[in-house]
Amino acid sequence: MSSTETPLKRSEPVRDSAEDTRAPRRRGVRVPPFALNLIALAAGVGVWAWLASLEVQALPGPVAVAGRAGELIADGTLADDALASLRRVLTGFALGTLLAVPVGFLMGWYPVARGLLEPYVQFFRTVPPLAMIPLAIVLLGIGEVPKVFVIFLAAFLSSVVAAFQGVVGVNRTLIDAARVLGARDGTIFLKVVVPASAPFILVGMRIGLGSAWGTLVAAELIAAQEGLGFRMQSAQLYYDLPTIFVGLITIGLLGLLMDRLLLLAERRLTRWQETR
C-alpha cells in the first residue's frame, strides 16, 4: 500500500500546478494615457476653482482667467506676445543645440578636446544663465541679442553634457566590431557613434528646451517691449493676476507642445532601439 500511495501523493501537486497554468490571468482595466491626461486636467481645474472660491490671496478662478485670455486674444496682444517669445526661444534653443552637439561629440570622441573643453563647460554649468544678464547687458546692449544669448546659454549647457554622455556611453563592443570589419574612424563615428548617441541627444534637447523656456521671463527683463514675460512683468505692477495666469498658461502650453514634438521625433528616430 505504501508503494502505491507514494506516486499518488507526488502526482497531486503536478495536477494542481497544471490547473493553475490553465487558469486565466486577471488583468486590470487599461485606461488610455490620453484619458488619464484629461482626468488630470479636469482635476487640476477643479482644485483651482475650489481654491479660487475660498478667496486664497485673491486667486483668480478659471472663468476670470479665460475671460482675460479672450480679451487678449481679441485685441491681438496675446498672439503678438506669444510670437515674440516663441521667436526668441526658438532662436536661442536652435543655436544652443547646434553648437552643443558638435562640442559634445568632440569632447566624447577626442580625449584632447575633452581635456581642453570640459573645464569650461563644467565651470559655466555651475553659473546660472540668469546671472549672466548684467554682463550681457553691458557687452551686448539692450536689444534682441542679449535676450537670445541668455536663452542660448541655458539651452547649450543643458544639451552639451547629454551629447558628451551619449558618445562616452556607446558600447565599446560595437566600435571594436566595426574596426574588425575594416571600418575607419570616420565611418565608425558616422555609422555607429552618431546613431547610438541619438537618444541621449534628443533627451538633452528636451532638457535644453525646458531650460530655454525657464529662462525666457528673466531674459525679457532686458528692456523688452513685447513678449509673454514682458506682459507678465507689466501686469505685476498693477496686480493684474488674470493676465499673469494667462502668460503662465500660454508658456506652459507652448512648451508642452514643443516637448511633444521632440518626443515624437525621438520615437521616430530611435525605433531601432530595444524597448523595455
Closest CA to 213 of 260, 150, 159: 150
Contact 246, 193 (CB under 8 A): no
Q: Which of 1-10, 180-189, 246-255 has the lowest mean pLDDT?
A: 1-10
- Give the chain's domains with CATH numbers: 61-269 (1.10.3720.10)
- Residue in the structure block whose three cell numbers are 482644485: 47
**Residue partners of 96: CB distance under 8 A and separation at least 6:** 151, 152, 153, 154, 155, 156, 157, 158, 159, 208, 212
What mean pLDDT is predicted for residues 215-242? 85
Residue bearing the bigger pLDDT, 19 or 80 = 80
pTM of the predicted structure, to 2 decimals: 0.77
State the Cα–Cα distance between residues 255 and 137, nearest whole angstrom.
26
Give dist(CA 230, CA 224) in Å, integer.
Answer: 6
Distance (Å, whole) CA 262 – CA 204: 11
CA angle in degrees (0–180, nearest 5) for 275-208-81: 125
Q: What percent of the chain has pLDDT over 70?
A: 87
Task: Report the pLDDT value the prediction gives residue 273, as an integer from 0 to 100.
Answer: 60
pLDDT beyond 60 at 3: no
* pLDDT tens column, 82-103: 999 999 999 999 999 999 988 9
CB proximity list for 147: less than 8 A, separation 6 or greater: 88, 92, 219, 220, 222, 224
Tell me what the pLDDT averaged over the chain comes to. Answer: 81
If you average pLDDT over residues 45-57, what whole number do you get?
80
